[in-house]
Amino acid sequence: MQRNALLLIFSLLIALVIIAFVPESKPKDEYLVVLSMDGFRWDYLQRAHTPNLDELFAKGVRAERFIPSFPTTTFANHYTMATGLRPGKHGIVANSFYDPVSGRYFNRPGHRKSVEDGSFYGGEPIWVTAETQGMTTATCFWVGSEADVKGIRPSYWKRYQHNMPFIDRIDTVLYWLQLPEQKRPRLVMWYMDEPDSKGHFLGPLNDSIVPLIQHLDSLFGVFHSRLKALPHYDQINIIVVSDHGMAQLDPSKRVLLDHYVDTSLIVDFDGYSPVINFRIKEGYAETFCQQLAKVPHIRFWRRGQAPDRLEAGTHPRLHDVTVLADDSYSIDWSYRISRSRGAHGYDNANPDMHGIFLAKGPSFRNDGYLKKPFHNIHLYGLMAEILQLKPAQTDGSRDSILDLLNIRDR
Number of CB atoms found within 10 A of residue 381's CB: 23
83 is catalytic: no
Catalytic position from the list 73, 74, 80, 83: 74
Nearest-5° Cα angle at 166, 229 to 247: 120
CA–CA separation, 391 and 394 (whole Å): 8
359 Cβ contact partners less than 8 Å away, ≥ 6 residues apart: 56, 60, 61, 62, 237, 238, 239, 240, 404
Residues of the chain with pLDDT under 70: 1-28, 407-410
CB 404 within 8 A of CB 365: yes
Helices (H), strands (E): how many in the chain? 11, 20
CB 379 within 8 A of CB 81: yes
CB 112 within 8 A of CB 89: no
What pLDDT, on the 0 to 100 scale, is given for residue 2? 54
Tell me the CA distances in angstroms from 226 to 54, 140, 173, one per residue in order.
17, 18, 10
CA–CA separation, 357 and 372 (whole Å): 11
What pLDDT, on the 0 to 100 scale, is given for residue 28? 62
pLDDT tens-digit profile of 230-241?
A: 999 999 999 999
What pLDDT, on the 0 to 100 scale, is given for residue 18? 39
pLDDT tens-digit profile of 172-205?
A: 999 999 999 999 999 999 999 999 999 999 999 9
* Crossing angle of the two packed helices 379-386 and 74-83, in degrees rounded to 10: 40
